[in-house]
Structure 1
């Protein structure tokens, strides 16, 4: 059987690992590290030269001492938070390390800064060695390769020991080739080592993972909020308009007055829904819910009567009992509770329109809950919404396709306020019951 696995077909051979594009990019990455070490190296040379009382460039041991001093200096600057972000960008572009294995953003914790400093030291320190070899080895290798053919080179004192113009002319070409192969092996090995260490030293810390999880949770919360708003506003409007149109079509010839009423309700529903949809899309587009031209969010006080009227225009009988309690007016409810309560009632009516059969009974009341924190006397107020209707027969609309998102969204709305939503069969009817805590008072200024 022929193996058609793509990864095996793309696997580079030995020459590819040493001279392929990835190896060359890693070599460039190392040379950049050497270039970044130069300011630290020059500073270390000055300090070492002053202490030794001589020019550090004139002494090979002092040069290596200056190199040893420059690497810790670089490690100190590696503690800066932005160094990790810069290093990650370079590693992704040049070392072939998958982005998901590297951290996002600057290092914030000291653990992440320490790991970044270690990476910075390795990158600059190893890069300086490879850069020095890349500058020194090729010219010497060329001299050794030409030594048998250019007699003038043998009179020039270049290099030392075997790697010099004093080497055997018949052996020097092999030494030159060996130098070039050794340089390639060192560069490829150093590049592979850094690529292997990058996820360890530049990968996300537990704090980074926690921050990423919190960011994803915040994004998900925003998406869920937008999904709830779109579902409740558009879903209810489509259900109401569909039933209103169906009812109007059935009595088109026998009851023109009802048809006119249904068409007016459709016009009002679509106009209001376009405004709500524009608000939600504006929030999705630029994240600004407070635009001056945005339609205000519907509330119990301002919009409940219109919602009930539009539902009745679809031919569904809705009986409503409203008891604002001590407040005496829905306008005294906290604004956020009034908004969420309106959406919960809207979803309950949408379910009744789509899946119910028969009249809908709605009861909204503010009640006192005992033995609970919130009020001075051990009580707090709750907004209780109860909606019942006979279960449907499947004739009102085609089969349900929403997957229960509306009831799930209503439960999320209640949970955000510390309340609950229950939906299911009760005494032969379908019942939706929501309880929203209002705290110890019903001040209208609360948001």
Structure 2
């Protein structure tokens, strides 16, 4: 049975079925070809004439090729090839043929599939009953009489009858060999003709890059929102614990700040998790969530550090600062405050925050005295400054962070400049 597997094994049978399907799809084109040949030759003896049938077959193939240019031919062909040709699914392209090269390859495949399918189907339909009839000659007088009536007296000679079963079996084996060879040829051509074109690979790479960008953006949102909240809550809880017996009013304010911070963060966390739970890939509209600079007062009121906030212009006005820039600026301020909480002396050092709307850019400057050690230690460190730099770069802006010698002495300074428009958005 192993020797016969290439001819009658499961893969061979599926490929044979694939060819039969191709022959069935060829029939409408073949019938139109017979009409054209009949009109050209007067319609005499069309189905009894092998040259006329070959001419109809030749007329059908150009029509098949034209049909192959329709975009939906490729996904249908890919689905059939994946199920029946035994080709790894990763080697085949997904989706309709959109580019010229993809359409040319698809029509070449469609023509090859239907052409070989028509030949194999014709051989299967014609040769199978003939071979079985030949094999049955020694055992059926009715078959011998029908062959004599048809004028084939040679096949009823004693020597011919003795060889008839072997001849019929040889015909079936030859038919199986032809079908297996045609199926193997199609299977070898599938990755070339139905595989991804360079344009498909580029589009797939762009989709992967877009998906990675979305994941990175969501990771930054989670890091900045949750990281800031945990830092603020840890600081407020620690301060409240230290003065619990001496200053109940301070403890009350700290608990209120913890409540407001966690409530706000839970809402932001729900928004991000909602995006992650969606089946479809997030689009542009999905980025339109999250607080902007108009919600900055609430953040500063419960951030856990004293902030001297100055602003020039109206950064909270969406007509001045487009929403995407406003949201990213809010996250940058939030992460800057988280860095102050972690590294700025336990939240007791005052912070100076300036947000200024310039002619073409939004400027964010945050200064605080450098702390001696982190107030909130996180194993492995954080990604705060790197995340701020990534946010600024994605909008076409820039950021700087480090020690700064100002008029009040040495400070730690974070300066970020963002364009007032980003990703094609215009101020109204």
Fold conserved between structures, TM > 0.5: yes
Aligned mates of 2:185, 2:320 — CA distance in 1: 65
Q: Is contact 1:391-1:429 (8 Å) kept? A: no
- Counterparts of residues 274-313 of structure 1 (less than 5 Å): 274-285=266-277, 287=282, 297-300=290-293, 302-312=294-304
After TM superposition, list the pairs within 5 Å mapping 1:140-155 onto structure 2.
140-155=130-145
In structure 2, which of residues 36, 50, 54 is the aligned counterpart of residue 64 of structure 1? Answer: 54
CA drift of 1:275 comes to 2.1
* Deviation for aligned residue 1:55: 3.8
Q: 2:393 matched to 1:415? A: yes
> Residue in 2 aligned with 1:434?
416
Residues 89-138 of structure 1, C-alpha deviation per residue, up to 9 Å, x if partnerless? 11111111122211111111222111111111110010111111222222
The 1:165/1:244 distance shift into structure 2, 3 A limit, reads farther
Aligned to 2:341: 353
The SS at the match of 1:57 is coil
Distance, in Å, in 1 between the alignment partners of 2:413 and 2:174 is 80
Bigger shift: residues 222-231 or 38-47: 222-231
Pair 1:397-2:380 in alignment = no
> SS state of the match for residue 435, structure 1?
strand
Structure 1 residues 113, 161: closer, same or farther in 2, change over 3 A?
farther
State the Cα distance separating 1:437 from its structure 2 match. 2.7
Q: Which runs of 5+ in 2 are unaligned?
A: none
Tell me the secondary structure at the aligned position of residue 81 of structure 1.
coil
1:155, distance to aligned residue in structure 2 (A) = 2.4
Residues 344, 375 of structure 2: 8 Å contact kept: no
Check 1:182–1:360 CA distance in 2 against 1; reply closer, same or farther (3 A cut). Answer: farther
| TM superposition shift of 1:425 | 5.0
CA distance in 1, matches of 2:217, 2:140: 80
Q: How many Å apart are 1:44 and its aligned residue?
A: 0.4
What do residues 398-437 of structure 1 show as CA deviations (whole Å, max 9, x unaligned)? 42454x2x43332232123321123345567644321113
Residue number among 218, 223, 239 corresponding to 2:231 in the alignment: 239
Q: What's the TM-score, normalizing by structure 1?
A: 0.82
Say if 1:357 and 1:396, in contact at 8 Å, map to a contact too. no
Per mean C-alpha deviation after superposition, the further-off stretch among 252-261 and 74-83 is 252-261
How many residues align structurally? 411
Q: 1:78 to 1:396 in 2, by over 3 A?
A: closer
What is the TM-score of this pair, normalised by structure 2? 0.86
1:194-343 maps to which residues of 2 (within 5 A)?
A: 194-285=186-277, 287=282, 297-300=290-293, 302-312=294-304, 316=305, 318-324=306-312, 327=313, 330-331=316-317, 333-336=320-323, 337-343=325-331
- How much does 1:199 deviate? 0.7
Q: RMSD over aligned Cα, in angstroms?
A: 3.1
Ranges in structure 1 where 5+ consecutive residues have no aligned partner? 1-11, 369-374, 440-444
Q: Work out whether residues 224 and 335 of structure 2, in 8 Å CA contact, stay in contact via their aligned partners in 1.
A: yes
Give the equivalent residue in structure 1 for 2:94.
104
Q: Does 1:85 align with 2:78?
A: no
Relative to 1, partners in 2 of residues 1:186 and 1:347: Cα closer, same or farther, differing over 3 Å? same
